[in-house]
Each structure stands twice: as structure tokens, then as C-alpha cells.
């Protein structure tokens, strides 16, 4: 099932950090409930901190897992100092496609759609553990809405399609607004 990634990107882009953190925590909780084996496999890995730098998003994400601890994602301001073992840089849409197993990480790496910095051990382990799961953002996050899910996803898809056409204009206006402040 299609996930409205353009809309999700735009939605997150304009939200304040605490709200993005709350949405991220909720999404992580839903995925955890749906894929307990993913999270137990992540616990078994060595301690890792992957900094996710989204090229189309004004914040960073710090994904921490391993060493028997629960996996977590912290939303960070790029100006904050942060420790990490590996950094991955790419668009939110590309990373969501990788999360769902719809695109190949190596292919995105060859084409430079994603870039990796630092030690690659943690990111290769995470990629391999993740690829064992059949993650569907629709099923994991939208489907729990029950009978309302089809209506919600239809509305989101229409909005996503419209927004993907209009987003350059929105982003340009938003950037202008930010610069003027």
C-alpha cells in the first residue's frame, strides 16, 4: 500500500521539534509493536548511534540501538553538538523507501542518492537486520485507524499527489519566510 511520503516530508518539515519528536516516538512505538523481532535483533547488536541527516528536512535524527538497550530516535537541531558512530545523508523519501524494503541501499549508495560517513559497521548491521522485516508504513501506522484507515489514506494520497506538485512553491515561500525573520 502506498505511503504518502511527499506529504509526510512536508508535514514534518513545518512542525516544531517537540511535535516531530512526539510523532516519531509514536511511529516507532507502532513499528515496535508490529515487529518485535526487529527490535530484539537490534538490541543484540553492539551499541551504535547513527546520525540521519535528511537533505530535505531542517532537523537531524539520531538513531540509537544496541548493547541490550531499546532503540530510540532523537530529533536534533543541526546546531547541537552530537556524538555518533556513523552518519547517513539522503532525502526522507529515499530513506523511507529503504525502511520499507522498496529500494536497494547499495543502489542508492552507488548513485550517491545516499552518502555514508564514519564507520560502516553499524549501518550495515542495521540494514541487514531491517531487511529481514516486512515493514509497511501504511500497515504499521495508518492501518491501526481501523475502519477509518481507507478514507484517511485516500485523503492523504490525494493531498500527497497535490503537494508533490506544489511543494517547490511551498518550500520556496517557507525559506523566504525564514530568511526574513
Distance CA(180)–CA(113), nearest Å, equals 31
- Binding part of the chain for other proteins, among 27-35, 60-68, 102-110, 172-180 by CB under 8 A, reads 102-110
**64 sits near other proteins (criterion: CB under 8 A):** no
Using CB under 8 A as the binding rule, the residues of this chain from 119 to 138 that contact other proteins are 119-121, 123-129, 131-134
**103 sits near other proteins (criterion: CB under 8 A):** yes
All three cell numbers of 105, joined, read 541501499
Core vs surface per residue 109-139: b (16+ CB within 10 A) or e: eeeebbebeeeeebbebbeebbeebebbbeb
Asked if 125 and 45 touch (Cβ cutoff 8 Å), the reply is: yes
H/E stretch holding 22: helix 17-34
Q: Which is nearer to other proteins, 47 or 132 (CB)?
A: 132
All three cell numbers of 131, joined, read 531487511
Return the residue of 117, 148, 151, 170 that touches other proteins, per CB under 8 A.
Answer: 117
- Binding part of the chain for other proteins, among 54-62, 65-73, 116-124, 155-163 by CB under 8 A, reads 116-124
**140 sits near other proteins (criterion: CB under 8 A):** no
- Binding part of the chain for other proteins, among 64-72, 94-102, 141-149, 150-158 by CB under 8 A, reads 94-102
All three cell numbers of 24, joined, read 516519531
**6 sits near other proteins (criterion: CB under 8 A):** no
Query: Please, what is the minimum distance in Å from the beta carbon of residue 30 to other proteins?
Result: 20
**41 sits near other proteins (criterion: CB under 8 A):** yes
Residues that bind other proteins (rule: CB under 8 A) add up to a total of: 32
Distance CA(142)–CA(44), nearest Å, equals 29
Asked if 84 and 119 touch (Cβ cutoff 8 Å), the reply is: no
All three cell numbers of 140, joined, read 504499521
* Residue ranges that bind other proteins, judged by CB under 8 A: 41, 45, 98, 101-107, 109-112, 115-121, 123-129, 131-134
Amino acid at each position: 500500500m502506498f505511503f504518502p511520503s511527499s506529504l509526510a516530508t512536508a508535514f514534518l518539515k513545518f512542525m516544531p521539534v517537540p511535535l516531530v519528536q512526539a510523532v516519531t516516538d509514536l511511529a516507532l512505538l507502532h513499528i515496535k509493536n508490529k515487529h518485535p523481532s526487529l527490535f530484539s535483533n537490534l538490541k543484540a547488536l553492539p551499541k551504535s548511534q547513527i546520525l540521519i541527516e535528511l537533505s530535505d528536512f531542517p532537523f537531524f535524527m539520531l538513531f540509537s540501538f544496541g548493547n541490550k538497550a531499546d532503540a530510540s530516535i532523537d530529533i536534533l537541531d543541526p546546531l547541537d553538538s552530537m556524538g555518533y558512530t556513523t552518519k547517513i545523508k539522503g532525502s526522507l523519501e529515499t530513506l523511507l523507501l529503504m525502511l520499507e524494503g522498496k529500494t536497494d541501499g547499495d543502489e542508492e549508495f552507488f548513485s550517491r542518492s545516499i552518502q555514508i560517513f564514519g564507520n560502516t559497521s553499524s549501518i550495515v548491521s542495521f540494514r541487514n537486520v531491517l531487511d529481514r522485516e516486512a515493514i509497511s508504513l501504511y500497515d504499521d501506522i495508518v492501518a491501526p485507524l481501523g475502519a477509518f484507515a481507507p478514507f484517511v489514506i485516500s485523503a492523504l494520497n490525494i493531498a500527497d499527489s497535490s503537494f508533490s506538485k506544489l511543494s517547490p512553491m511551498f518550500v520556496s515561500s517557507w525559506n523566504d519566510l525564514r530568511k526574513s525573520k
